[in-house]
Amino acid sequence: MPVSLVLTLVPRWNAELSRTTGHLTHGAVLLAIAQRDPLLAETLHADTDEIRPFCISQLVGPGEPTGPAWPMHAERRYRLRIASLEPALSELLLRMQHDPPPELTLSHLPFQVLGATTHPRRHGWAGRISWDELVGAGVRRAGHRYLRLQFHSPTSFRGGHHNLPLPLPHLVFGSLAAQWRACAPAPLAGWIDALVPAGLSHAACAAAVERNVRIARHRIETRLLAFPEYRRVGFVGDVDFELAPGIPPAAAAAAQTLAFLAQYAGVGDKTTMGMGQVRLSPDEDSRATWT
């Protein structure tokens, strides 16, 4: 079951953290998992190029910085999100909402955990949904011509030795399709083939996606994340995707299903370190004018 757990945190005292916190949240979350399931934490931490079946946000909260340092205030609340497509981790996150870790330490600064939830009514980025429910949600939205994805944290894609910070449809939906095929139950693994065909070359697969999905409009900008050993540029903002006239119904349903998956899978590179935090806009009319 895909699960998205949102933790509410408060720092023990005033201090400063680096502006980029994804490496800090990554370490703190894996330590919290290791305290409950060491083998699971070791598996999740394994250095591999395979699909990572989870994502971790950066720290989110008031007064986000414009400079290299971010002042933390003990009277303010911050949030951190962990999402999973991996069954054992999803089960742990569901238990954790009722029994969260009392404290998480980011760098030198301990944070008290005030609460945890997977209920979307308590936080818009929280959630839990079965794979069958994801398919059902996609089928119900298959008749919608537009869908809007909100790229909340910097998002980029790996292309050989380069990173591409652009929301090209074949990159966005290709990333989500890879997560789906790696993590969905076997009977559903081929559900998205009508949109992102399996077994084709990269160029042929990209062409197939671009025939059916296009960018209608966007409001994005690039941002730099400075990790300790490297830097990444990614884009943030809202992107409206348009499903092409005459798109096969199965491909339309697959596109909407993958859009729902984004909240639980992340999109693109470094999603376990805060990048690629994406969700389908809760605004039902994604053609609404931006103001």
**Quick one: DSSP state of residue 270?**
-
- pLDDT (tens, 9 = 90+) of the chain, 291 residues, equals 999 999 999 999 999 999 999 999 999 999 999 999 999 999 888 756 568 899 999 999 987 777 788 999 999 999 999 999 999 999 999 999 999 999 999 999 999 999 999 999 999 999 999 999 999 999 999 999 999 999 999 999 987 778 899 999 999 999 999 999 999 998 898 889 999 998 888 889 999 999 999 999 999 999 999 898 888 999 999 999 999 999 999 999 999 999 999 999 999 999 999 999 999 998 754 444 332
Q: Are 4 and 81 in contact (CB under 8 A)?
A: yes
Strands 3-11, 127-128: pairing is antiparallel
Residues facing 11 on adjacent strands: 111
Backbone φ, ψ for residue 102 (5° rounding): -70, -25
> Are 35 and 42 within 8 A, CB to CB?
no
CB count in 10 Å sphere of residue 190: 14
All structural domains of the chain, each given as residue ranges with its CATH number in brackets, are 3-117 (3.30.70.1890), 130-280 (3.30.70.1900)
Dig out the tokens for 228 from the structure: 């300790």
Report the C-alpha gap between 249 and 145 in whole angstroms.
Answer: 11
